[in-house]
Amino acid sequence: MTRPEPQFLTVGTGAERREIAVLAQAGKGPPVVWLGGLRSDMRATKAEALAAWAERTGRAFIRFDYAGHGESSGDFARWTMSHWLEDAQAVLSSHAHAPAVLVGSSMGGWVALLTTLRLRASAPQRRPAGLVLIAPAVDFTEELMWARMPDAIRETIMRDGVWERPSEYSPEPMPITRALIEDGRRHLLFGHSLDTGCPVHILQGMKDPDVPYGQALKLVEHLPHDPVVLTLIKDGDHRLSTPEDIERLIAAVAGIAPATD
């Protein structure tokens, strides 16, 4: 199969300008939009599986890399949640011409929820048709990073502006910047009820070391008005990329906002 070449979308101006790589497949039904995780990219296992499913079934599918990720421009440490949220909104505005199904993995789950709330407030006619959230890392900069860090690491971040965190997913450490932590506080969602106005399906592994399944339960509690399905996978890890996990993901996406003939 030929490797598809991305289009590039310019987002931001001046020092904030970056080129965002986008892969868009035409098709029917509400467009399915992939929102990846931190340091992941649009050609990772789950995104590729959804692209293949979309090709087989004729569904519209859009995926992209955030600034500093994958094939998009910029150094990872330069960007924050505000930039990645802006990237997602720009891709939706330029490529999704109908209410979309947002599929958010890990950090992408937080991006999906933030994007949904913003669209409901500013452009309700474009609010998502549904959300599928995979191990959604809502408020991760505060709850899953800062709150878990020893004082010595917090002091390093505040003093030096960055801490290089070893990663089990990459040979390169992940730079955790002071800007990322401080900007994340502008986007915290937990603490008040959320209203997405659409069906939500959450897939969560119970052996996830990065986003404990208690976070998914907490999110459900924060969605009191939405139709929510939570699927807990007893032996599931953070990636949820086994063949069985992929089947669950495709079934969730296909079922939450089916294409109409």
Ordered domains of the chain (ranges, CATH): 7-138+191-256 (3.40.50.1820)
Q: 154-166 pLDDT, tens per residue?
A: 999 999 999 999 8
Mean pLDDT (the chain, rounded): 96
Q: What is the pLDDT of residue 171?
A: 81
Complete edge-to-edge strand list for the sheet that includes strand 7-11: 7-11, 18-25, 59-64, 28-35, 101-105, 130-134, 200-205, 228-233
pLDDT of residue 260: 64
Residue ranges of alpha helices (H) inside 96-205 are 107-122, 140, 151-160, 178-184
Task: Band the pLDDT of 29: cuts 50, 70, 90.
Answer: very high
DSSP secondary structure string, 78-117? G--HHHHHHHHHHHHHHH--S--EEEEETHHHHHHHHHHH
Q: Which pLDDT value is given to residue 168?
A: 76
pTM of the model: 0.96
pLDDT at 1: 57
pLDDT tens digit sequence for 164-212: 998 777 788 999 999 999 999 999 999 999 999 999 999 999 999 999 9
Residue 31: pLDDT band (50, 70, 90) is very high
Per residue in 122-136, pLDDT (tens digit) is 999 999 999 999 999
